[in-house]
Amino acid sequence: MLHKIKYFFLNKFDDNILDFLKNTHGIFQLIDTKCVISEIQTLEAIRKTDRFMSHNEKIRSPGAILLMYIARTNQINVAIEKCGINKDTESGIVVYSDQNDLQFLIKNDYIRIAGRLLPYDKPEYDFEVFSGMAKIDLMH
């Protein structure tokens, strides 16, 4: 599946955005930039999520799986708390496959698109990032 990423600034956070996120299809996830080291980490987490989903058709929330890879934990609630957006989020990365989902958030002033907010790559963190993601693969 083809997914895109965009950086954003969060304009507002309320129950409506949470309801919207619960009702999107495919991967649509807002990730707080505070928990992401690099864009490469996000791209690899997307790849691993797609692979995980291809072997586990019963999973209803691919965004939660993506957060598990980003947070490097096999506990969905920990991943959401650590890397999901919340009232304190200032900026983030949106992973999406349907442009209409992204447009809904922009049109309703939840987010405004930004340029790159994180470095593309930080090789000095490769072991931490990729071994943590591998651990998630081993636990499932």
**What is the residue-wise DSSP string for the chain?**
---EEEEEEE----HHHHHHHHT--SSEEEEEGGG---HHHHHHHHHHHHHHHHH-TT-S-HHHHHHHHHHT-S-HHHHHHHHB--TT--EEEEEES-HHHHHHHHHTTSEEEES--S-S--GGGHHHHHHHHHHHHHH-
User: Could you give the CA distance from residue 69 to residue 49 in angstroms, rounded to a whole number?
Assistant: 8
Which pLDDT score, from 0 to 100, does residue 1 have? Answer: 55
Quick one: which of 78, 72, 49, 73 has its CA closest to 62?
49
Q: What is the CATH number of domain 4-139?
A: 3.30.2380.10
| pLDDT over 60 at 125, yes or no | yes
Instruction: Compare 78 and 53 and report the one with higher pLDDT.
Output: 78
User: Could you give the CA distance from residue 98 to residue 65 in angstroms, rounded to a whole number?
Assistant: 18
| pLDDT over 90 at 60, yes or no | no
pLDDT digits (tens, 9 = 90+) for 81-96: 999 999 999 999 999 9
- Give percent above pLDDT 70 in the chain: 99
Cβ 133 vs Cβ 72: under 8 Å: yes
| pLDDT over 90 at 62, yes or no | no
